[in-house]
Chain A
Amino acid sequence: MRVTNTMLGNTILKNISAAYARIERSEDQLSSGKLYRQPSDNPVAINQALGIRVSLKETDQYLSNISDGLTWLNTADTALKNSTDLLQRAKELAVAGANGTNTQSDLNAMAAEVDQLLSEMVNVGNTNIAGRYIFGGNQTTIAPFSEAGGPPPTAINYNGDSSAINYETEKGVNISVNLPGDSVFKGSTDVFQTLITLRDDLLAGNYAAVSADTSAVDDALGMITDAQMVVGAKLNRLEMTQSRLEDDKLGLTKALSGVEDADLAEVITRLKMDENVYQAALMAGSTAMQKSLIDFLK
């Protein structure tokens, strides 16, 4: 084949620019840290990356949901623990009050304390997180329990409803993060009514009735403890989901990095090789293009 100067020039130029393009590519990978610039660089990998990014974003949202759910349930847990304490005290008072050696003024003092317990219990029932009442069902903006009659109150009304508040904690899974107050405090036993009866019985000096109230307080305690167990189970479940999602997130982050990120060692090695090729192409070009027969003619 007859080789002309233009051919030589074209070939040299083609090789030099190809080598330069490879260097540019590696430089870009190094500075951006990403393997690919556009979907066309590797459609399959980009498809994977897009999928992983969606999962990662979802996982972040679920983790945030779980964390908020944990706040609700932990608050409920604390509130229930407080109400157990209150009922324990009420039980002690009931047991003490059933003893016939107490004078009426002793009983009156006890009744006054039960009244305090009652209003404390109402406060517990009205526990809120930043103004949102956790025992009101979906009625989160009004206090679920209000005193009626009196003072001292003769009844405690429930103003909430029995609807659940659901959070999505992972794809397609809803967990209710609230316990409606009607089932917690006014379920099989009405906690408030129990306290009101105890107070009234103490005021009336009815030892037998006070003694009977002891078992009612026990029932109330049992009911609250049941609710506590429900909350505990939910907390458990959420925490398990949380730790699983955090593992998922770690795995997804690694996978995304595997698909998207450039391996620096590899890119640098390639860059060095490309630079060598570029140098060689430049050198070959400069020698080949310099000389022709013209140089040797006088």
Chain B
Amino acid sequence: MDGFFGIGIARKALDASQYGMDVTAHNIANANTPGYSRQRAILAAAPSFPYPGYNRPMLQAQLGTGVEVKSVERVRSSYFDDQIRKENQSLGGWGVKDDALKQVESILNEPSDTGLQNMMGEFWDSWQELSKNPESLSARSSVIEMGRTLASTFNQLDAKLSRLRDNLNDQVSVKVDEVNNIADRIYALNKDIVRIQTTGVAPNDLRDERDKLVDDLSKIADITVAEQDSGTELIFLNGRQLVSEYSANHIQATPNGLNSGYGDVTWAVDGSPVTSYGGELKSLTDTRDTTIQKYRGDLDTLASTLVTEVNNLHAAGVGLDGTTGWNFFAGTGAGDIALSPDVDDPKHVAAATNPAGIPGDNSNALAIAKLKDTLLTINGDNVTMNDYYRSTITNLGIESQDSSTMVTNGKLYTDLLENHRQSVSGVSLDEEATNMIKYQRAYEAAARVITMLDDMLDTLINRMIR
């Protein structure tokens, strides 16, 4: 036991307080950093002296040797991480679908005076007007114009829905790139973490960064995570390693010729398809290939029914010039419905049924006008064209409302989970202020101990022997 032993203890205390203050400062500095977990310095009593042994000095008792900083650890619960990631991928998926459905809604733009329903109404009305003026060329021209407007409304809706699919496909590529980018970064972080961890130091901030990346990735795709003892985190997608110990496996969007050249998600290394991938990515491809196609299909069915039914009646009718057999519409679906070249000559518009082509004969115009109330078999249902379209809009409304609800609920749940996580890992400024005072006081006290010991040594060295 020498006289400087106490100074050594106090110096350690100064060091520890300084270290604690540094950790506190780091916490405060990162109070608003996304993904940051608060850290704390783990202080422990240094091993006591003397150690047991044959040649140990004979002392009355073991004496403490002060404090040491064992480690700095981050406070985090992997339980919430798992839950948040699971919820993230479902929320991400619904979010994409909800966005797309809202866009479909604004494309179809119902109810409004410019929507398809109103255009169909105007078209039927124009036939009514023709039935009242069958001799008139101008009433015929107006039927033709309304037909042209209706056809181009169909064309535009179809084109807009197609463009929406194109956009979604672009997003698929973007998200695929994002997945690859994140995988690369996780792989790089894995290497750093392992390297630092083997030196016995905890790479807390790198782990935070990696957790944040995994969080982001979990929004895009349904991934599973397995951490190795070495500190490497393996990421699995559809049962295959996206990030392995040795590399980051990339995925790609392979254009599928059978699906308008839209990308299928495949593994870059061998081109085999990723069949189940969840999250935003899955929702993007599903919405692109199923949801929007369904509404396009509904419009196609409606357009082709319109073409067939109007043409059936029209071809059987007689024009103002006594000719017959003319089509009114051409095309087979919403994308290509157009006015038939047969009615380039307004005289060919068949308002009459009498083959003599009598000018006042309006019976065919009346029959075509009544198509709007005719029950037709459309997609197996016995409905009018109006009802069919109306049920399409209603279904769209319900589906879109559903997805909004899912997004709202998912958001509430992830917010709740995020709050729980923050409750564990977040930085509390009050807490840090308390720690600050704690360390400050401890530092002051340790410094005081040194002063006191200095005084004692002063007595011993300068005052005892004169």
Q: Cβ of B131 < 8 Å from any Cβ of A?
A: yes
A139 contacts B360, CB within 8 Å?
Answer: yes
Given contacts A4-B423, A5-B429, contact A38 B400 (CB under 8 A): yes
B354 contacts A38, CB within 8 Å?
Answer: no
Residue in B closest to A9 when the chains form the complex, CB atoms: B32
Residues of B within 8 A of A140 (CB): 134-135, 359-360
- Which listed residue (A1, A5, A65) contacts B427, Cβ 8 A? A5
B128 contacts A57, CB within 8 Å?
Answer: no
B361 contacts A167, CB within 8 Å?
Answer: no
A50 contacts B111, CB within 8 Å?
Answer: yes
Residues of B within 8 A of A10 (CB): 415, 418-419, 422
- Which listed residue (A7, A163, A292, A297) contacts B358, Cβ 8 A? A163
B397 contacts A46, CB within 8 Å?
Answer: yes
A1 contacts B423, CB within 8 Å?
Answer: yes
Stretch from B102-110, B245-253, B269-277 at the A interface: B102-110
B363 contacts A4, CB within 8 Å?
Answer: no
B110 contacts A40, CB within 8 Å?
Answer: no
Q: Cβ of B63 < 8 Å from any Cβ of A?
A: no
Residue in B closest to A39 when the chains form the complex, CB atoms: B397
B121 contacts A57, CB within 8 Å?
Answer: yes
A161 contacts B358, CB within 8 Å?
Answer: yes
Q: Separation in Å of the A49 CB from the closest CB of chain B?
A: 5
B111 contacts A294, CB within 8 Å?
Answer: no
Question: Cα distance A46–B393 when bound, in Å?
Answer: 8
Count class of interface residues, chain A? 35 or more
B360 contacts A132, CB within 8 Å?
Answer: yes
B interface footprint on A40-61 (CB within 8 Å = 1, 0 otherwise): 1111101101110110011001
Question: Cα distance A9–B162 when bound, in Å?
Answer: 42
Residues of B within 8 A of A61 (CB): 124-125, 128
B360 contacts A46, CB within 8 Å?
Answer: no
A38 contacts B429, CB within 8 Å?
Answer: no
Q: Cβ of A168 < 8 Å from any Cβ of B?
A: yes
B423 contacts A39, CB within 8 Å?
Answer: no
A interface footprint on B357-389 (CB within 8 Å = 1, 0 otherwise): 011111100100110110000000000001000
Q: Cβ of B101 < 8 Å from any Cβ of A?
A: yes
Q: Cβ of A28 < 8 Å from any Cβ of B?
A: no
B31 contacts A6, CB within 8 Å?
Answer: yes
Q: Cβ of B404 < 8 Å from any Cβ of A?
A: yes
B interface footprint on A130-142 (CB within 8 Å = 1, 0 otherwise): 0010001111110
Given contacts A65-B132, A138-B358, contact A39 B429 (CB under 8 A): no
B118 contacts A57, CB within 8 Å?
Answer: yes
Q: Cβ of A174 < 8 Å from any Cβ of B?
A: yes
B125 contacts A138, CB within 8 Å?
Answer: no
Question: Cα distance A158–B427 when bound, in Å?
Answer: 102
Residues of A within 8 A of B390 (CB): 47, 50-51, 54
| Chain B stretch 392-428: residues in CB contact (< 8 A) with chain A | 393-394, 396-398, 400-401, 404, 415, 418-419, 422-424, 426-428
Q: Cβ of B434 < 8 Å from any Cβ of A?
A: yes
A294 contacts B423, CB within 8 Å?
Answer: no
Given contacts A2-B423, A6-B32, A47-B393, contact A141 B359 (CB under 8 A): yes
Q: Cβ of B433 < 8 Å from any Cβ of A?
A: yes
Residues of B within 8 A of A65 (CB): 128, 132
Residues of A within 8 A of B457 (CB): none
Question: Cα distance A65–B32 when bound, in Å?
Answer: 71
Residues of B within 8 A of A7 (CB): 419, 422-423, 426
Given contacts A292-B430, A293-B434, contact A46 B362 (CB under 8 A): no
Q: Separation in Å of the A115 CB from the closest CB of chain B?
A: 31
Q: Cβ of A165 < 8 Å from any Cβ of B?
A: yes
B111 contacts A49, CB within 8 Å?
Answer: yes
B111 contacts A260, CB within 8 Å?
Answer: yes
B426 contacts A5, CB within 8 Å?
Answer: yes
Question: Cα distance A137–B118 when bound, in Å?
Answer: 34
A53 contacts B111, CB within 8 Å?
Answer: yes
Residues of B within 8 A of A42 (CB): 397, 401
Residues of A within 8 A of B400 (CB): 38-40
Given contacts A38-B102, A292-B429, contact A50 B393 (CB under 8 A): yes
A40 contacts B433, CB within 8 Å?
Answer: no
A6 contacts B426, CB within 8 Å?
Answer: yes
Question: Cα distance A50–B358 when bound, in Å?
Answer: 38
Question: Cα distance A139–B135 when bound, in Å?
Answer: 9
Q: Separation in Å of the A195 CB from the closest CB of chain B?
A: 27
A138 contacts B359, CB within 8 Å?
Answer: yes
Residue in B closest to A163 when the chains form the complex, CB atoms: B361
Residues of B within 8 A of A51 (CB): 390
Question: Cα distance A51–B393 when bound, in Å?
Answer: 11
Question: Cα distance A6–B420 when bound, in Å?
Answer: 11
A interface footprint on B119-158 (CB within 8 Å = 1, 0 otherwise): 0010011001001101100000000000000000000000
Residues of A within 8 A of B393 (CB): 39, 46-47, 50
Q: Cβ of A11 < 8 Å from any Cβ of B?
A: yes
Residues of A within 8 A of B426 (CB): 2, 4-7
Q: Cβ of B287 < 8 Å from any Cβ of A?
A: no
Q: Cβ of B117 < 8 Å from any Cβ of A?
A: yes
Given contacts A1-B423, A54-B121, contact A39 B105 (CB under 8 A): yes
A interface footprint on B316-352 (CB within 8 Å = 1, 0 otherwise): 0000000000000000000000000000000000001
Residue in A closest to B422 when the chains form the complex, CB atoms: A7
Question: Cα distance A47–B370 when bound, in Å?
Answer: 22
Residue in A closest to B404 when the chains form the complex, CB atoms: A40
Residues of B within 8 A of A293 (CB): 429-430, 433-434
Question: Cα distance A44–B395 when bound, in Å?
Answer: 10
Q: Cβ of B268 < 8 Å from any Cβ of A?
A: no
B128 contacts A168, CB within 8 Å?
Answer: yes
Q: Cβ of B437 < 8 Å from any Cβ of A?
A: yes
Q: Separation in Å of the B117 CB from the closest CB of chain A?
A: 6
Residue from B32, B393, B396, B419 whose CB has the most chain A CB atoms within 10 Å: B419
Residues of A within 8 A of B424 (CB): 2
Given contacts A39-B397, A260-B111, contact A294 B433 (CB under 8 A): yes
Question: Cα distance A141–B372 when bound, in Å?
Answer: 30
**14 pairs, A vs B, C-beta closer than 8 Å:** A4-B422, A38-B102, A39-B394, A40-B398, A41-B401, A46-B394, A47-B391, A54-B117, A138-B359, A139-B360, A163-B361, A166-B131, A172-B370, A297-B437
Instruction: Beyond A57-B125, A138-B354, A163-B361, list 5 extra A-B contacts (CB 8 Å).
Output: A39-B105, A68-B132, A132-B360, A293-B433, A297-B436
Contact surface of B with A, Cβ cutoff 8 Å: 31-32, 101-102, 105-106, 110-111, 117-118, 121, 124-125, 128, 131-132, 134-135, 352, 354, 358-363, 366, 369-370, 372-373, 386, 390-391, 393-394, 396-398, 400-401, 404, 415, 418-419, 422-424, 426-430, 433-434, 436-437
Which 9 interchain pairs have the tightest Cβ spacing? A39-B397, A43-B397, A4-B426, A140-B360, A40-B400, A138-B360, A293-B433, A47-B394, A40-B401
